[in-house]
Structure 1
Amino acid sequence: MLLSFPREEKEWTRLFNGQNLEGWVPKIHRHDVGENYANTFRVENGQILVSYADYADFGERYGHLFYEKPFSSFHLKWEYRFTEEWLTDAPIYTYRNSGVMFHSQSPESILKVQDWPISVEYQMLAEEKEGVSRPTGNMCSPGTDVFFEGEKDPRHCINSTSPTFRWDEWVKAELIVYRDSIIHHLVNGDTVLTYTQPQIGGGVANRFDPEIKIDGAPLSSGYIGLQSEGQGVLFREILIREL
């Protein structure tokens, strides 16, 4: 007789220690990997703050702060809220817009002139106009493709079913990722989007190393990155548990 036992759940690990950016690597468009231009990513009051206080202008400096090691199957959770800061020379779509990239290429493989990493994004949005729906926890796909409702979806972004939140509300976000099979986005504990088969493909990412972008290749692991696109945002309680 075979006995089955439930798998022991791994402990949660803090990716952000609440004190400094130890273990994190910045990569900002038009700058070398490791250069935290104008102190874009900083720690204040136990939170990671994306700040443009020392910028003269945005200058298409799309940035990401990557954790130093890749992950494959995992449960990631964090809390975020936006700040009032937004650079008016950034594209209008970046207003009250940020995100967390995952299954990304390594920061070291992102070229200095490359704008976005080849990755999948948990997109975070807040209310832009009062009374107009703008869900958060959406999926965007720079240099990647996913399957939604059984078919490869041509859209760069797929909206979730979440409610709309004010910019100054703290939101609890979660990602549950099973390699290159199935992915769930959660907002405040509710599953708001599910899709499958993340793979390299599609457009949007520009000036990448062509040897990296092998369209159709499954994305079964990669790096996690916090986004900076001209909108100020705060991150806290960044925890991961490998599955």
Structure 2
Amino acid sequence: MKRFLVGLFLLLALQSTQAQQKKWVPLFNGKDIKDWIVKIHHHDVGVNYGNTFRVEDGVIKVRYDQYDKFNEQYGHLYYKTPFSHYHLVVEYRFVDPWRKDAPSYTELNSGVMFHSQDPRTMPKEQDWPISIEMQFLAGLGDGKARPTGNMCSPGTNIVYKGKLDTRHCIDSDSKTYGKDEWVRAELIVLGDSLIQHIINGKVVLEYSKPQIGGDVANRYDPKQKIDGKILSSGFIALQSEGQPIDFRKVEIMDLTPAKAKRK
């Protein structure tokens, strides 16, 4: 009951803040990705290998048609500045064809990273950024449930249901969506406290206290991985890991507390 009341209080405070501001700011301008930074595994920061991230028809497209082979070239497209308290909206859909030489788990799989390390601190051979991921999945057509809006944690941990949870991924309770459906994914991030994942208007996962720790991220600069360090801010990035995907909207609403803004 105590946890519920705290969550309710935070939501009411958030709704009040939103009512006062009501200002959505597009991170993607519909024309280009000049305000974004590319980092792809095996490549230096800023190298958009194979034109992986491109803008066509007002949409950010992740494509692999210029790849000879996938070769674990996991990529991330970072907005140029970090954020701490915010409401993020991303609309996405998966498209064909999946790279069959990518790992099998990447089929109809992508996501948005947040509270991420600065891409300019990542060595050329670091595969995943130290970050939290809101994972996007679609059904594989086998009739099995495959929720989207899950939490994954390369090089991080979170507090879930009041306890430190070191699992790499935690499923949300969203329904399963089809491959070609546009899905509206939202993140409410209040620094290092409340984090909520919302899919098509429904809260599907909630947790807190994101912090550095755990595995999955490899070949990072040791100075960047201070296990136990609480993450209250970081960069936002769209993911590429072998599955083509479209992003037609990326917008953010600043939820920074008024006192912090006055400093």
* One-letter amino acid of the counterpart of residue 235, structure 1: F
Where do 1:65-76 residues align within 5 Å?
65-76=77-88
Q: Give the structure-2-normalised TM-score.
A: 0.89
Post-superposition CA distance 1:150-171 (Å, at most 9, x none): 1111210000000000110000
Question: Do the aligned residues in 2 keep the contact of 1:10 with 1:242 (CA within 8 Å)?
Answer: no
1:130 Cα offset (Å): 2.9
CA distance in 1, matches of 2:31, 2:106: 28
CA distance in 1, matches of 2:232, 2:207: 14
- Is 1:26 the equivalent of 2:38? yes
CA distance in 1, matches of 2:234, 2:49: 24
Quick check: 8-17 or 188-197, which moved more?
8-17
- Is 1:241 the equivalent of 2:253? yes
Question: Do the aligned residues in 2 keep the contact of 1:135 with 1:162 (CA within 8 Å)?
Answer: yes
Match of 2:143 among 131, 137, 155: 131
Match of 2:166 among 137, 144, 154: 154
1:10 Cα offset (Å): 5.1
Normalized per residue, the structure richer in helix is 2
Q: Secondary structure at the match of 2:94?
A: strand
Q: Give the structure-1-normalised TM-score.
A: 0.96
CA distance in 2, matches of 1:213, 1:129: 39
CA distance in 2, matches of 1:86, 1:38: 16
The aligned residue for residue 198 of structure 1 is 210
Match of 2:98 among 86, 111, 115: 86
The aligned residue for residue 11 of structure 2 is none
Match of 1:57 among 58, 64, 69: 69
Q: Secondary structure at the match of 2:244?
A: strand
The aligned residue for residue 3 of structure 1 is none
Match of 1:103 among 94, 115, 131: 115
Q: Runs in 1 of length 4+ with deviation above 6 angstroms?
A: none
Q: Secondary structure at the match of 2:46?
A: coil
* One-letter amino acid of the counterpart of residue 148, structure 1: Y
The aligned residue for residue 156 of structure 2 is 144
Q: Secondary structure at the match of 1:145?
A: strand
User: Gapped runs of 5+ residues in structure 2?
Assistant: 1-15, 256-263
CA distance in 2, matches of 1:60, 1:140: 18
CA distance in 2, matches of 1:204, 1:181: 24
Normalized per residue, the structure richer in strand is 1
Paired-residue identity, % = 58
CA distance in 2, matches of 1:179, 1:37: 33
Match of 2:183 among 168, 171, 174: 171
